[in-house]
Structure 1
Amino acid sequence: MQASVLFVCLGNICRSPMAEAVMRHLLKEASLDAQVTVDSAGTGDWHLGHPPHEGTRQELDAHGISYEGMRARLFRAEDAAEFSYIVCMDSKNEADVKELIGAASSPQTKVFKFMDLLPERGTPDVPDPYYTGNFDYVYELVKEGCERLVERIRSDLQ
């Protein structure tokens, strides 16, 4: 059985590529990388084709996590049929994704907010470090949430 994860944020240069890179790293460590594919996308088109933001790259470098070859791309309605988990970094991204996919969503596609993985944190959204500059805090949330998502996927694959 296979699974696929798509992380979605606004510009696809900060939060969602950080989550993509961390998730790939964790899946490899868990020997699940052959069973689970991971990608990221944005709901806005300002940064299409750009690599992750410098702050994201610095944070990933500090933790020895690769982001090689990653480039910003736009979320497409067709993604709903291609991914089993669509994980939105904030409430606005989730609303935009649901509006874009409409009827294109397949019954097995799970669309949810990233912070649903961390309910004890008491915050609905992953803050956007493009505006806050707080890349280390976002990394902390992303790592913790991705660890939970790996366990959820492991369970779903059984």
Structure 2
Amino acid sequence: MTRVLLVCLGNICRSPTAEGVLRARLAQAGLEHRVELDSAGTAGWHQGKSPDSRSQAAAARRGYDLSPLRARQVIAADFDHYDHIYAMDANNLADLRAICPAHAEGKLSLFLALIPGADCLEVPDPYYGGGEGFERVLDLCEQASDAFIAGFQRRHG
């Protein structure tokens, strides 16, 4: 079992979208029982709350259901439990590095760094923008999820 944690700031827009997309893509590939997924935020402002309604609506239009997800904050045990911890942007990656034990630093990276030849490495925060921002997040999460699955299949068959 490979364990993956997806992280943004508040865990209500980008990281739950990434979790929902990756979960669905893994199921489509028949790999849902081989990868454990969760998402979290570096801040705890929204703990226990559902993903942003705009994230849920955009995801639903593409067939992804984010409604069961609830926000939580990254905890110390996450660094031992998860094999890969993917941040949505450089600020969240820096926040993770600031609290990460030295032995787990190799688990941290940017989610979009999975995309070969990616033209951007950060999933932009759509919270203060319009609907097109949520669509862009979905586009990027689909690309990174597909890249994760391709790499997983190469390594694990």
* Same structural fold, with TM-score higher than 0.5 when normalized by the shorter chain: yes
Note if contact 1:80-1:101 (Cα within 8 Å) is conserved in structure 2.
yes
Q: Within 5 A, what are the aligned runs for 1:9-158? A: 9-103=8-102, 105=104, 110-118=107-115, 120-133=117-130, 134-158=133-157
Mapped to 1, the partners of 2:6 and 2:149 lie a distance apart of 13
- SS at the partner of 1:105? helix
TM-score (norm 2): 0.92
Per-residue deviation, 1:45: 1.1
Q: Which runs of 5+ in 1 are unaligned?
A: none
Mapped to 1, the partners of 2:13 and 2:103 lie a distance apart of 27
- SS at the partner of 1:22? helix
Per-residue deviation, 1:104: 5.4
Per-residue deviation, 1:60: 1.2
- SS at the partner of 1:45? coil
Per-residue deviation, 1:154: 2.1
Q: Which runs of 5+ in 2 are unaligned?
A: none
Alpha carbons of structure 1 residues 104 and 78: separation in structure 2 relative to 1, 3 Å = farther
Note if contact 2:51-2:67 (Cα within 8 Å) is conserved in structure 1.
no
1:32-88 C-alpha deviation (Å, 9 max, x unpaired):
001111100000111111100011101111011122421000011210111111010
CA RMSD of aligned residues (A): 1.5
Percent identical across equivalent pairs?
36
